Amino acid sequence: MRKRQLALVTVFSFTALVSLIMATGSFTAYAYSNRVMPRVLIAGEKIGGQGIAEASMQIQQRIASLREAPILLNLDGKLTTVTLKELGITPSVTKTVQEKLKSHSSFDWLKFNYWKEFFSPVEGGLAYSINKTTLRQKLEHKFNIRTIARNATLRAVDGRLQVIDGRDGRTLDVTQLNAGIDNLLRTGSALPIALDFVKVTPDVSVSDAKEAKAKIEKTLLPIYLKFEQQNFSITPQDQYGMLDFKVKGEKLRWSASTSSISSYLYSNVAISLNISMRQRTILAAKNNKVTDKGSEGREVQLAALAEEVARTITEHTDTKNSPIQIATRTIPVTDYIITPGYIAGLWKGLYLDINLTQQRIYILDGKNLLASYLISSGKPGTPTPIGQFKIVNKASLAESSLFPGIWMQMWNGLARLDSGLVEGYGIHRIPCFNASCTLKEDASHLGTPVSHGCIRVQDDGADWIFAHASVGTKVNIHI
């Protein structure tokens, strides 16, 4: 009887203990179903026991703090500091939560590892990604050091292919920096980091370039071209200057450059075949009389020819028995219609017609043009007035009333034709800076409006007008 009671007590106790453990486990699992395990540290900061949302916010704040934390770098005794922000590194809250803060199912508490994680300290780092090339470039800029490895290549010099030596480069080994960043984002502490250089060898060595040179010299053939009865040829030596060299797949590759080919063809082929078109000249003032019939032009179709030559080089085509035919296009004749810049027959007898757009003065006798000369009229700030005028006074030498010290030879003063109003404008030679006219303004400005409103005429024209256009001669000024 007593043994039976003892057995019942034992069974009851065991059942009670199991029930208690299961209840405790279930309760604990329920309580931490959406929480971080109690002893978790992220980047040296305790976030255990917090809800996921609260932990995410704390991680975000930790990231902001660590991005500004100075990291001491040492390169050959040269010290400097850098931050994660300067290096362009931003840890991810989302990835950190996904990778470091595991979610648990309702029955995970039945597993041994669940309770191991529950009671053991768990130190996790912030999740981040890094581009080593970008990181290296930022450090090189920070220290202002970089020696780029230079590939050996080929260059055309005086009709020969010349091997250009390459050289080793050097850059920074970022292995220790990566380890330092890992440590900072795991512990929250930035330790000094010693950097070192690493040699960078070129992709293309001198032997590679020599191999490419030998292959090109063996491959290229003379290229023959033909236009009607004229023959042209492009030697392999000429073709060397038409090649571009690039590194691809750690090999020196070459290709035909259409721009270089076009330049060669223009200088050595097109110039001798091209013919300029001559325009048909038509005089509008003479009932469209044709004074020159003109002639068609001819032009080598350079772009198409360059493409054909490039293809021939690339495909190693033998053109000795089947030369490339040079295509040309005909340039049709266009008309050059000469329209007079003057108004003929405006008045009977001698008068002057001034075209401000053309910067010319025309001397007419009724409908007949006697002569024309270059002028310089008023500049934008002091424009020459437009309208019809007449010559009202003359002087072989006159001093400007507005600009004393400026002298004008062969002066012809103007007044409005309808009202007789004198506005101070006239027609004269290029101005002088003294009364003896030993100092004169340069004649190079003729054809450009630079005067203060008067009409400056080249000297021989001004002399003719002064001698032959008497007082009362009419003047028409227009654009």
Q: What is residue 339's predicted lDDT score, i.e. its pLDDT?
A: 73
Instruction: Check whether residue 332 and residue 372 sit in a common domain.
Output: no
Catalytic site positions: 428, 454
Q: For residue 366, tell me if it sits in a domain.
A: yes
- Residue after which a domain boundary falls, among 278, 305, 336: 336
Cβ atoms of 91 and 126 closer than 8 Å: yes
**What's the number of domains the chain is made of?**
2
Question: At 403, which CATH number?
Answer: 2.40.440.10
Instruction: Check whether residue 324 and residue 364 sit in a common domain.
Output: no
Q: What is residue 27's predicted lDDT score, i.e. its pLDDT?
A: 53
Q: What is residue 286's predicted lDDT score, i.e. its pLDDT?
A: 66
Please list the ranges in the chain whose pLDDT falls under 70: 1-34, 37, 49, 100-120, 146, 285-286
Instruction: Check whether residue 363 and residue 448 sit in a common domain.
Output: yes
Q: Is 44 helix (H, G, I), strand (E, B) or coil?
A: coil
Q: What is residue 59's predicted lDDT score, i.e. its pLDDT?
A: 80
- Residue after which a domain boundary falls, among 336, 369, 388: 336
Contacts of 178 (CB under 8 A, 6+ apart): 130, 132
pTM: predicted TM-score of the whole model, two decimal places: 0.52
Q: What is residue 75's predicted lDDT score, i.e. its pLDDT?
A: 87
Cβ atoms of 426 and 409 closer than 8 Å: no
Q: What is residue 385's predicted lDDT score, i.e. its pLDDT?
A: 96
Question: At 319, which CATH number?
Answer: 3.10.20
- Residue after which a domain boundary falls, among 305, 336, 367: 336
Q: Is 284 helix (H, G, I), strand (E, B) or coil?
A: helix
Q: For residue 296, tell me if it sits in a domain.
A: yes
Q: What is residue 29's predicted lDDT score, i.e. its pLDDT?
A: 53
Angle (CA) 455-460-464 rounded to 5° is 80
Instruction: Check whether residue 304 and residue 364 sit in a common domain.
Output: no
Q: For residue 286, tell me if it sits in a domain.
A: yes
Show the domain range for 373.
350-478
